[in-house]
Amino acid sequence: MSKLVIVESPSKAKSIQKYLGKDYNVVSSKGHIRDLPAAKLSVDVKNDFAPKYAVIKGKEKLVKELKELAETAEAVILAADPDREGEAISWHLATLLDLDMNDNNRVKFNEINKNSVVKGIEHPEKIDLDLVNAQQARRILDRLVGYTLSPFISQKIRRGLSAGRVQSVAVRLVVDRENEIRAFNPEEYWTLDAKMLAPSSKKAFKAQIAGDETGKVKITNKEQSDMYLARLDGAEYTATSVKKGVRRRQPAPPFTTSTMQQEASRKLNFQARKTMKVAQELYEGVEVKGFGSVGLITYMRTDSLRISEEARAAANAFITSTYGEKYLPEKPRYFKTRANAQDGHEAIRPTNIAITPVIAKKSLTNDQYKLYNLIWCRYVASLMAPCVQDTVKIEIKAEKEGAAGFLMFSASGYSIKFDGFTALYEDAVDDGDESAIPEVKTGDVLKLKELKGNQHFTQPPAHFTEASLIKTLEETGVGRPST
């Protein structure tokens, strides 16, 4: 007799079977096995909102097979995904297979590799009924909102429209943003943009008007712009202040579900649904040449920024051997998880730092490679030294001999002193109009190469992209990252 291990997906079953060997029979439930029937509300509103579950249509044969396997097994181990949905699937299976809820028959794997799988099997737990009830509450709320409002909306607005616990709030956010955009009145403003040459350089740098003798300048029309341009005709430009500094840019933390979806949308043009599908494949296991069937990333539904010390040490060793010790920060970097996050899992990271994207590429589909490369690089960069930049800010006085008053221009820029984490990963950071600036000393007279007045208009808020909508939903606490 062997021990029966029930997981959610067939590909995950294949990976785990390899690690556990012939004493175990690993099979798949192929996702949820019981649910609220779709034909009616299936919630007893008058009896404490009791749910009325039934085996999902088409899964009757699978349930029968699982019951037969459970009857002849030495023990039944429930190994669905380590989250609320997985806990609920385990509870439904325990109910259908008539397992004792007080038995330690629930195991969890945060990553699919031999060490984690064996460790999980060695430390079984009871089914967490609090997690089960959390999932049931969410499912019942989905049903109450959807089944109550959808028929009304379909009847009153347009046939086929539906409502949902998260969907309807998301629609409201989109509508509110659209109303903001339509109500927006653009305002005209002008800038005076100069290109200047330092005495020691042939390459021009940009400067912009910052004020006059009375303080800040606001130019609202072409007439004002032309007036200032006339004042500047024949003016001499002198650097009155040169402030140098050092700026340290810290790397972004490793991915949570939400930030992974946002970055995959921005950098890979993946929709959130596609990102989660590909991440699930990477988590469940892929045949990698030289490593066999292995789960390449940790569990992909997480709010946490925590990483294990074992994983940190492995990444630090990789960074040291690949880039050198100076690419490690002076002190280990720990990221703080936000207050209301579910911290049951680590951040999303590679399970084996030695399987670099280059090594894995031949074994992955194009989409799998793109996402794995993003996750791997973001994680390793998060543990690397900061990028150190030399910054400079120059104030420039423009005045004409014999004329009253003066105008002030400013220029700012930076140069890379030490690339740090950016040697591996560049997150989406807007450095505005900053550019490289040549050596300028206080008192230097600068040569004006070009001066123009440029018209601008204030812009309304941008329409949501999928990435920015996900970010807003997270910030406002609507739904979960995987919703």
Q: Residue 131 CB: number of other CB atoms within 10 A?
A: 20
Strand order from edge to edge, sheet including 76-78:
24-28, 3-7, 76-78
d(CA 311, CA 358): 20
The catalytic position among 24, 228, 237, 299 is: 299
Of 172, 213, 217, the C-alpha closest to 191 is 217
Q: Are 466 and 472 in contact (CB under 8 A)?
A: no
d(CA 434, CA 414): 7
Q: Are 113 and 294 in contact (CB under 8 A)?
A: yes
d(CA 357, CA 364): 9
User: Does the annotation mark 334 as catalytic?
Assistant: no
Where does residue 32 rank: exposed (0-12), middle (13-18), buried (19+ CB within 10 A)? middle
Of 128, 162, 157, 158, the C-alpha closest to 142 is 162
Helix, strand, coil fractions of the chain, as percent rounded to 5 = 40, 20, 40
Residues catalogued as catalytic: 299
